[in-house]
Amino acid sequence: MATRQDLANAIRALAMDAVQKANSGHPGAPMGMAEIGEVLWNHHLSHNPTNPDWTNRDRFILSNGHGSMLLYSLLHLTGYDLPMKEIKSFRQLHSKCAGHPEYGYAPGVETTTGPLGQGISNAVGFAMAEKLLANQFNKPGHDIVDHHTYVFLGDGCIMEGVSHEACALAGTWGLGKLIAFWDDNGISIDGHIEGWYTDDTAKRFESYGWHAIRDVDGHNPDAIEKAIQEAKKITDKPTMICCKTIIGKGSPNKSGSGACHGAALGEDEVALVRKEIGWDHPPFVIPQDIYDGWNQKDKGQAREAEWNTRFDAYSKEFPDLASELKRRMSNELPANWKKISESLVKDANAKAEKMATRKASQNAITSLAEFLPEFVGGSADLTGSNLTSIPSFEHVSGKKPGNYISYGVREFGMAAIMNGMALHGGILPFGGTFHMFTDYMRNGMRMAALMKQRVVYVLTHDSIGQGEDGPTHQPIETTSGLRYIPRMEVWRPCDATEVSTAWVAAVENLENPTSLVLSRQGTSFIPRTDAQITDIRKGGYVLSDSDGKANVIIIATGSEVGLAMDSQAALKENGVNARVVSMPCTHAFDRQEKKYQDSILTPGVKRVSIEAGVTDFWRKYVGLDGASVGINTYGESAPGGDLFKHFGFTVENVVKTVKSII
């Protein structure tokens, strides 16, 4: 019968052999955290390898993702559908065992943790989602949402700023079911961290409102077990278990040093490790008794069966809530969604109100929130400006749950936490900030796109933004930058009708994040036919056609659409027939059939784009023989109206630009 040490050594063997075969990867962390993995996964983690998506499973996140072979080993050994052939192809093309744990590749991987700090920050989102759903669905005697979030993190994650943005909130929120294990081995990619990392990590996390368990021997199963038991008893705050470990433990010549951090050990050292740990088996061979010691299939099925029994009892007593939980965890839209969404857009069009698109967005949120209890809104300290809250929302305050979060000045943390909430399921998170501050969020936004998560960003004060605050607050390059992120749907609507359409698209877009780029200034309402309203979803459509054959096509977005309409009238007086195309979402337009695209942007007709931002992006639509009215330099400080004139967003300049190309 295999001992616990044998079980832990199986992780070491798989990790070093896979890294050696690939000649790429990080063997040190898996070898150093093997005992922690064994204690947690074999004795505490509530999961079911035969159903990785079981609703009430514990979530496990490997934040120090470079040690991915630790997670792949655990998944393989405990019985997930991750066969040895995948372990053997670690880091190779189309392998389920990618360089870092990648969401959507291997079953049981809860999130992608390439950039350090994303994992622990996602974990905060997972734990927050669990707490919010428990508050909404649990009833006396029926704790149907009741699971932990466990996360492994290393020195790099502890240093990363986003970790602290998110972890400070985790303490404030009292996320008692979040338990983190810090792999305190004193080694980072640059070697020993003494001299450039002197934090008292336990004190720092205690100051955030965490419970800290110090100086746990990460190679002593009894010490690890004791620490986990203590952590699980702490229900009003998250716990950081500080585990002292030896990186690359088992390697006679490279353990405890940077030599095993991010490079294969080498064939000679691998052979020495086998002797050191008493592992007599060839590469990628695991004896049956060790598989038996790890196998969690039967236990996992029993855990889920027990929960199913409890959920059946809950369903009988609370059938509506049970049905709603199933819907939300499946990311299904309400049964009457088509009616809801159509009414939202039609009502906005019927009201014909002139307003800033940020205000139109708030109106849309107000209407949608009535039918979408999965909404969890929020803002990075700018709620009153980005208009993301509504009277019906209950604001999270300290440990008190709700459905709207003030994240404070933590844009990056907000984006990463929203990713965790979306990944958990049952929640549709949206978060607002000023458009230019997405630079801080960009990695979290990119991760949402990479993982195909439905997350909505409400980004206000577009184009000139807050002119008086100068170029730091003028996001002239930001919209184009967001458009270059694959699978990021960017909508820059021009009025309430387009805003409502954009919100509907964002809710329906189950496999993409959406950025709503919204104006500070008021925009004119533009009447539309039913056909035009339908065509908004296509991303680009003829808003106002030319009187006769078009001499030029003007493409505009957002607050500049009104300028395009005014310019069309002025051009007509100058004998120029112009077609005005509103293009609120270039991604949606690019997906349309060529026939439709050509019907909007007629081949052979010169084109001019108008957008208060950098112009290079628009070359794909206007070509080298077209022109763009935009901003290609950092600006000055002045009221917005003055800056629009300064940068040439006037009818006179548009007319001049059009005449220069036709």
Contacts 24+ apart (CB under 8 A), 636-642: 636/470, 636/471, 637/467, 637/468, 637/469, 637/470, 637/471, 638/467, 638/468, 639/467, 639/468, 640/464, 640/466, 640/467, 640/468, 640/520, 640/521, 642/467
Q: Is 304 a catalytic residue?
A: no
Instruction: Say which DSSP state 184 is in.
Output: E
Chain position carrying tokens 């989602």: 129
Distance between CA atoms of residues 201 and 324, nearest Å: 41
Inter-axis angle of helices 221-233 and 34-43, nearest 10: 50
Q: How far is CA 156 from the centre of its chain?
A: 20
Chain position carrying tokens 């990618």: 98
Nearest CA to 12 out of 288, 295, 289, 272 is that of 272
Distance between CA atoms of residues 107 and 51, nearest Å: 9
Three-class SS state of 275: helix
Distance between CA atoms of residues 400 and 387, nearest Å: 22
- The residue type found at 565 is M
Q: What are phi and psi of 187, to 5 degrees?
A: -125, 135
Inter-axis angle of helices 118-137 and 438-450, nearest 10: 80
Distance between CA atoms of residues 661 and 641, nearest Å: 27
- The residue type found at 160 is E
Distance between CA atoms of residues 231 and 208, nearest Å: 16
Three-class SS state of 381: coil
Please provide the size of the chain in residues. 662
Distance between CA atoms of residues 14 and 77, nearest Å: 10
In Å, what is the CA distance from 124 to each residue of 115, 148, 149, 527?
16, 11, 8, 45
Three-class SS state of 580: strand
Nearest CA to 410 out of 384, 376, 381 is that of 381
In Å, what is the CA distance from 260 to each residue of 25, 252, 264, 357?
10, 11, 7, 54
Distance between CA atoms of residues 96 and 82, nearest Å: 8
In Å, what is the CA distance from 560 to each residue of 468, 583, 601?
19, 11, 18
Instruction: Say which DSSP state 559 is in.
Output: G
The catalytic position among 411, 489, 560, 611 is 411
CB-based contacts of 328: which residues, under 8 Å, 6+ apart? 373, 374, 425, 426, 427
Catalytic residues: 411
